[in-house]
Amino acid sequence: MTVMDRSTAPDAGDPDFLPTPPDLYGRRERDRVLRGLGIAGRYWFPAWQRLIHPGEPQEVDRTLTVRIVDRRVVARDENVIELTFGPVGDEPLPRWYAGAHLDLLLPSGRMREYSLCGDPTVQDTYRIAVRRIPDGGGGSLEVHDALKVGDTIRVKGPRNAFPLSLPGFGSPATRMRFVAGGIGITPILPMLATAERLELPWSMIYVGRSRESLPFLDELRPYGSKITIRTDDEHGLPTPADLLGDEDSGSPSAEPSTVYTCGPPMMLENLRQALIGRPDVELHYERFSAPPVVGGRPFTITLAKSGVRVPVAADEPALEAIRRELPGVPYSCRQGFCGTCKIKVLDGKVEHRDTILSDAERDAGSMLICVSRCVDDELTLDL
Ligand code: FES
């Protein structure tokens, strides 16, 4: 084998001569036109890939780093803390509207969603509140135990899955009723501020186990009689009529109204049932836990990397069944809208129950395991 020293300039008559391609004018230097085309191609190629695969949405990076500038206990039982975030550097924080939430990317790698609960007109800080849940998935414990004033944390958003449509501003309703259960007050707080600023007619009921467990009671005091506080230890469990207040005439009224609610699953379900057949009342709700499985049937998931077979009960989300084997499997909203639990399906037919995957993503074999299920009896997942 001949090893050639390219630092010398071999004769063109030499049979081992490997020339640098001459340029358009016979020069051995690279031609400027070719060099320009090469550079243009480097940038054009990725753009062209997007054009020829239009069905595959490109992820928009909405991640930013914020600093924790304040931390405060906001319930008398000391189980709810409020965290206030400020910008890092000169970049202003993106704007948000009532009902929006942030995804916190926690140091452990967990992602958890928390409603923004400050005033949307305050643009230099974000505020969230988190109840400590000892038997949850560990996210709230990490927020309580690991996040301190001065720390920075990455967040995604804000995004709004619970937007407020206001009477006179896109909604035919003439009055608003807010129903908050415990930590479900968080998305409702900015809604109250917005309704108050626009001088809209509104009322609210705030329910929970006890006064000690209810966050932000001091902050609500200035709203006076517009807010009713009702606790289980003093009054027993509230009925739908208690929750709906004036909106509960029992039959459609001439004055349409709108109900915004966030709280425990049973409270939301009771309200939903009570408002069936009431076209005069718009119901908007946000859950902070997984919805019940409706119309499910049992099936089995095979975890491809270990071969372990996981039975999923008819009334059980696939995510919960998988977490028995793989406790660290990523998830956040548990309601099929954040995309954190997206997994590739290697075999089997999926019954998609989410609201965000595109047809292209479904065709490519993606599944959101927090809500979606199996059409037949068996699924194999890339886990
Ligand atoms: S956890 Fe949010 S979509 Fe599944």
On whether residue 225 sits in a domain, the answer given is yes
CATH of the domain at 90: 2.40.30.10
Does residue 331 line the site of ligand 1, with CB under 6 A? yes
Q: Among all chains, which residue has been given the structure tokens 């560990």? A: 138
Residue 224, token pair as written in the block: 């006076």
What integer pLDDT is reported at residue 33 of this predicted model? Answer: 55
User: Is the minimum distance from the CB of 332 to ligand 1 under 6 angstroms?
Assistant: yes
Sole residue written with tokens 């007050």? 185
Q: Is the CB of 336 under 6 A from ligand 1?
A: yes
The verdict on residue 24 lying in a domain is yes
Answer whether residue 310 is part of any domain: yes
- Asked whether residue 149 is domain-assigned, the answer is yes
- Which residue is closest in CA terms to ligand 1's atom 3? 336
Q: 339: Cβ below 6 Å to ligand 1?
A: yes
The tens digit of pLDDT for each residue in 311-369 reads: 999 999 999 999 999 988 988 888 888 888 999 999 999 999 998 899 999 999 999 99
Q: Which pLDDT belongs to residue 140?
A: 95
My answer on whether 108 and 184 are in the same domain is no
pLDDT-derived band at 168 (thresholds 50, 70, 90) equals confident
Q: Does 245 fall in a domain?
A: yes
Other Cβ atoms less than 10 A from the Cβ of 95: the count is 10
Question: Are residues 83 and 148 located together in one domain of the fold?
Answer: yes
CA angle 274, 276, 282 (to 5 degrees): 90
Question: What's the confidence (pLDDT) of residue 79?
Answer: 95
How many Å lie between the centroid of ligand 1 and the Cα of residue 355? Answer: 10
In a domain, 350, yes or no: yes
Q: Do 247 and 184 belong together in one domain?
A: yes
Q: Domain limits at 274?
A: 166-287
Residue 279: cis peptide before it, omega within 30 degrees of 0 = no
Count up the domains in the chain and report the number: 4
CA of 371 to the centre of ligand 1 (A): 8
Same domain, 274 and 171: yes
Is the domain of 150 the same as that of 225?
no
Can you tell me which atom of ligand 1 is nearest the CA of 332?
1
From first CA to last CA, the distance across the chain in angstroms is 49
- Tell me the pTM: 0.75
Evaluate whether residue 119 is within a structural domain.
Answer: yes
| CA 331 to ligand 1 centroid distance, Å | 5
Structural domain includes residue 339: yes
104/35 same-domain check: no
How many alpha carbons fall within 13 Å on the CB side of residue 145?
9
Give the pairing of strands 63-73 and 152-160.
antiparallel
Say how many Å lie between the CA of residue 114 and the centre of ligand 1: 14
Tokens 């992820």 correspond to: 59
**Mutate which of 101, 156, 368 for ligand 1 pocket (most atoms within 8 A of beta carbon):** 368
Two tokens, residue 141: 């414990």
CATH of the domain at 335: 3.10.20.30
Interior/surface letters 163-175, b for 16+ CB within 10 angstroms, e for the rest:
ebebbeeebebeb
